[in-house]
Amino acid sequence: MAVSPILKAAVGFGAVGVIDMWYLQVFGVGYNHIDAILTSRVPVGHSLILAALKPLATSLTLGAGGSGGVFAPSIKPSLTVRWRRSRSRDTFSREYCE
């Protein structure tokens, strides 16, 4: 079943727009948000939600016919999860291993 390119673009970009209404940090490449994560200015829950939404938004954009890379957008979720995991291990080791 062939889907109209106009319909595909409308649904894909509309879905990305809905995500961006609540989580504006998903829009764009995200270098500024990566910097905020590294300096611990982003709450843990918020950063993990963004780690899940960024690949979804990138997939919707590319699937709807938009242009963009996949390397830089893939850094944000990976960095978020690894940074939060390392911070929780560091906190755990300081609290329970001393």
Average pLDDT, the chain: 77
Predicted confidence (pLDDT) at residue 7 exceeds the cutoff of 80: yes
Q: Does this model's pTM top 0.95?
A: no
Predicted confidence (pLDDT) at residue 27 exceeds the cutoff of 60: yes
User: Which 3-state string (H, E, C) describes the chain?
Assistant: CCCCHHHHHHHHHHHHHHHHHHCHHHCCCCHHHHHHHHCCCCCHHHHHHHHHHHHHHHHHHHHCCCCCCCHHHHHHHHHHHHHHHHHHHHHHHHHHCC
What's residue 47's pLDDT? Answer: 78
The string of pLDDT tens digits covering residues 32-48 is 777 777 777 777 788 78
